[in-house]
Amino acid sequence: MARGEVLAVRQASVSLSGRSILKDIDFSLEAGEFCGLIGANGSGKTTLLRTILGFIAPSSGSVTIDSGGKLASVGYVPQKFALDPYMPMRARDLVALGLDGNRLGVPLPSPGRRRKVDEMLESVDATRFADQRIGNLSGGQQQRVLIAHALIRRPRLLLLDEPLANLDMRSVAGVVALLRRLSQEFQTSVLLSAHDMNPLLSAMDRIVYLAHGRAASGSTDAVVRTEVLSQLYGYHIDVVRVHGRVIVVAAEAEDDAQAAVAHDPVHVAQVP
Amino acid sequence: MDVQTLLSLLFEPGFFTSEPVRTAAVIGAAAAIVSGVVGVFTVIRGQSFAGHSLADVSSAGGSAAFLFGINPLLGFLGMGVLAAMSMELVRADRASERDLVTGVVTGAGLGVAALFLYLDMTTSSTTGAAVTVMFGSIFAIPASLVPLALLVGAGALLAIGVLYRPLLLSSLDPDLAAVRGVPVRLMGLLFLIVVALAVALSAITVGAILSTGLLIGPAAIALHLAKRPGLAILLAAVIGVAVTWGGILVSYDSYEWTGGRGWPVSFCIVMLIFVAYAVVAQTGPARERRQEHPLPSGEKPHVTSAG
Ligand SMILES: Nc1ncnc2c1ncn2[C@@H]1O[C@H](COP(=O)(O)OP(=O)(O)OP(=O)(O)O)[C@@H](O)[C@H]1O
Ligand SMILES: [Mg+2]
């Protein structure tokens, strides 16, 4: 693993139930880098993140995380977070569990612990709803609480699975700005999956683009190009830039091609 | 009416001096506290069915204890812990699969219980064991059982106290817990063993079948009322003790109203739980609509402009 790298994924392949899902994925993240993991539904974003977390073992290749000597080196915000509304837990209780949820014993009230939790809630702008049941919070509010839970130990690496899905446009911009700021403040590398790269264009230092089980990675300008994506998809792809937005369109109306990039043309309609 | 007459109306003569009542009150409270505490975790983990299943399977142990004349608490405990371990060791990742395994194990356990109870009936020619194992006879508990019951209860509470935070986190979301280094599967196994302890205690109190009422009922009421975990647990324990003692009292008093026949304690306890739940479910704050959050001052509402 090279100096300054926090995460190195080397030629990693993953199979699930005998099906090959990811092939020869290769990229690395440096300290404090902000990276978008972009791909359509079913392209393997969740699978890749779970492999990095160690929940799935790669069939070949390797995943290395440099913990930098920290115990809590990775934070995670899952895609599906099904919460029972009756869960007897306030936003601040969940954030506190991020701090010491692995410790044995009943937590004793301590001013230091409370201050850390308050500060973290403040950083993600969640102070307003800190004392409400998490099950009663909106999706966007829960998202912020989960980010606080994941970040309170200041991990070296933060993985977020589709944190922008289910957010309205204003909240998307807010969460991206928040993550960018926290990543710089805490020197945490961020790897964030999304099916639309547009909200991330200004924030990303690097992109990992997934299609057909393979990945292209590098700076956005290097990866989001007609030649690179056409090679990744295996058929001609046009990358169109309009009004500072990127639109990925399949030239042929192949069913498969349409399915693979169908998510992108939809955004044309959203341009304000 | 003065306090004296009111009290004598509430408590029939002999209530406080009766030895069986005192034993029932102590063991009942222990069972209720443990069930309340463990019940909160059972409900938030979505394991109510597993809890009920453990009770059913443990009744095989309870009925074997009757047949062979050993301590019934040990019978319930042994079988319950065994069932807990086998249910966790069968690797079932999907919820539906887990339910199937649990259902099949429950059927087998109840079948064995039926066999032992039948053998017991044919050898001792009474049907008393069946009622005691399934529906409990709290006034018949010998005082000699108290130390073991308190020990089991203390063990269960200690385990929950030690596992508190990792258990809470893994109940909330196993992935979040795993990322924080919590051994999620071990947590699941240890927790189910603690459920078996709670269930064994309730089984000798309200009977194996009704133990679910004591495990889930007070916890469900507490979850309606409390919005933080510690408070929910405390409340569930208090509610459990209240309905148990209330049930014992109503049952004791009912001998008077029913011409000496009396109502079973188990019936009185679960009916109190049912009524309490019905009341809370109607009025509890959890039923309130989600609160709206006003925008903080200075933030303008977002207006989308087309084109
Ligand atoms: N346990 C499994 N067994 C077999 N195939 C699986 C399994 N889990 C996921 N897959 C397949 O792996 C592929 C990638 O799934 P994954 O969930 O990683 O996609 P994703 O990019 O996260 O999609 P989404 O945007 O919908 O969240 C899909 O084709 C899916 O059907
Ligand atoms: Mg996914």
Amino acid at B237: A
Chain A neighbors of B286, CB-CB under 8 A? 85-86, 133
Q: Please tell me the distance between residue B299's alpha carbon and the centre of ligand 1 in angstroms.
A: 39
Could you report the per-residue pLDDT of B288-301, keeping only the tens digit for each?
Answer: 444 444 444 444 44
The pLDDT of A203-218, averaged and rounded, is: 92
Q: At residue A85, does pLDDT exceed 90?
A: no
CA atoms of B239 and B273, how far apart (whole Å): 9
Retrieve residue B81's tokens. Answer: 């812990």
A59 in helix, strand or coil? coil
Predicted local confidence at residue A272, as pLDDT: 31
Q: Which residue has the higher pLDDT, B140 or A59?
A: A59
DSSP-derived letter for residue B258 is T
A32 in helix, strand or coil? coil
Q: Which residue has the higher pLDDT, B141 or B231?
A: B231
Task: Return the residue whose CA atom lies nearest to atom 14 of ligand 1.
Answer: A44
What domains sit in chain B, N to C, each tagged with a CATH number? 23-292 (1.10.3470.10)
Q: Which residue has the higher pLDDT, A104 or A232?
A: A104
DSSP-derived letter for residue B300 is P
Poorest-pLDDT segment among A19-33, A129-143, B79-93: B79-93
Confidence of residue B93 (pLDDT cuts 50, 70, 90): low
Could you report the per-residue pLDDT of B160-205, keeping only the tens digit for each?
Answer: 999 999 999 999 999 999 999 999 999 999 999 999 999 999 998 8
Confidence of residue B22 (pLDDT cuts 50, 70, 90): confident
Q: At residue A233, does pLDDT exceed 70?
A: yes
Confidence of residue B257 (pLDDT cuts 50, 70, 90): confident
CA atoms of A36 and A152, how far apart (whole Å): 22
Nearest atom (ligand 1) to Cα of A18: 4
Residue A231: burial class (beta carbons within 10 Å; 0-12, 13-18, 19+):
middle
Q: Please tell me the distance between residue A194's alpha carbon and the centre of ligand 2 in angstroms.
A: 9
A101:B165 CB<8 A: yes
Predicted local confidence at residue B92, as pLDDT: 60
* Residue B305 near chain A (CB below 8 Å): yes
CA atoms of B84 and B61, how far apart (whole Å): 13
* Residue A90 near chain B (CB below 8 Å): yes
Report which secondary-structure segment, H or E, holds A94: helix A91-100
Task: Return the residue whose CA atom lies nearest to atom 5 of ligand 1.
Answer: A16
Predicted local confidence at residue B1, as pLDDT: 59
Could you report the per-residue pLDDT of B38-47, keeping only the tens digit for each?
Answer: 999 999 998 9
Task: Note whether B146 and B153 are within 8 A (CB).
Answer: no
Task: Note whether A21 and A44 are within 8 A (CB).
Answer: yes
* Residue B65 near chain A (CB below 8 Å): no
The pLDDT of B243-269, averaged and rounded, is: 88
Q: At residue B236, does pLDDT exceed 80?
A: yes
A-B interface: how many C-beta pairs under 8 angstroms? 109
The pLDDT of B26-34, averaged and rounded, is: 95
Q: A153 to chain B: nearest residue by CA?
A: B180
Query: Strands A34-38, A189-194: parallel, antiparallel or unpaired by DSSP?
Result: parallel
In this structure, which ligand is nearest to the CA of A210?
1
Q: Which residue has the higher pLDDT, A260 or B145?
A: B145
The pLDDT of B221-235, averaged and rounded, is: 94
Predicted local confidence at residue A8, as pLDDT: 93
Predicted local confidence at residue B162, as pLDDT: 97
Could you report the per-residue pLDDT of B259-306, keeping only the tens digit for each?
Answer: 878 888 889 999 999 999 999 888 755 544 444 444 444 444 444 444
B179:A104 CB<8 A: no
A43 in helix, strand or coil? coil
The pLDDT of A124-141, averaged and rounded, is: 91
In this structure, which ligand is nearest to the CA of A47?
1
* Residue A165 near chain B (CB below 8 Å): no
A71:B181 CB<8 A: yes
* Residues, CB-to-ion distance under 5 Å, ligand 2: A 45-46, 79
> In sequence order, what are the beta bridge partners of A241?
A246
Q: B162 to chain A: nearest residue by CA?
A: A105
**Count of CB atoms within 10 A of residue A135's CB?**
17
Predicted local confidence at residue B127, as pLDDT: 62
Cβ partners under 8 Å of residue A218, min gap 6: A206, A207
B40:A74 CB<8 A: no
A88:B229 CB<8 A: yes
Closest-CA distance, A191 to chain B, in angstroms, reads 15
Closest-CA distance, B193 to chain A, in angstroms, reads 18
Q: Which residue has the higher pLDDT, A8 or A230?
A: A8
For chain A, percent of residues with pLDDT exceeding 70: 90
